[in-house]
Structure 1
Amino acid sequence: MSIATADAAPPAEADDPTPVLLTVEEAARCLRIGRTTCFALIRTGELESIDIGRLRRVPADAPAQYLARRRAAQRAA
């Protein structure tokens, strides 16, 4: 076994149940909001997203972080 092989991460399984990135539609479903509202949150920077080529993806933990910020802001008000 070479050193490069030992240090490399194992390949991701095709049926891995935990996604790293969500589509905008999946993120909208997680938040129980519409696709247009989700894009508006992304546009204003309230919901984190990244571009991969021509694709827009939302990190899997971003909806939970958005919700936590909203809850904290509502408690503070």
Structure 2
Amino acid sequence: MTTAVPQALTVKDVMAALRVSHSKVYDLINTNALPSFTVGRSRRFDAADVTAYMHKRKEDKD
């Protein structure tokens, strides 16, 4: 049985995906708008959380 491992994105990956600045990504973290976790001293994001954030923002706009 194979279990899929969620993809962990870096801050740079999220910046590119959302086309926002480094500080905006950290604003999203600090306001709990985008869940994240740390690995050592590095911040990581579940790709599914980033996708969910984008869908929610789109729904809020409609």
Q: Same fold (TM over 0.5)?
A: yes
| Post-superposition offset of 1:53 | 2.2
Partner of 2:36: 49
**Does residue 1:70 correspond to 2:51, yes or no?**
no
- Aligned Cα root-mean-square deviation (Å): 1.8
| SS of residue matched to 2:51 | helix
Partner of 1:23: 10
Higher relative contact order (CA 8 A, sep 6+): 2
Counterparts of 1:32 and 1:38, CA distance in 2 = 10
Question: Which structure's CA Rg is the greater one?
Answer: 1
Q: Structure 2 regions of 5+ residues with no counterpart? A: none
Q: Structure 1 regions of 5+ residues with no counterpart? A: 1-6, 10-18
Sequence identity (%) = 31
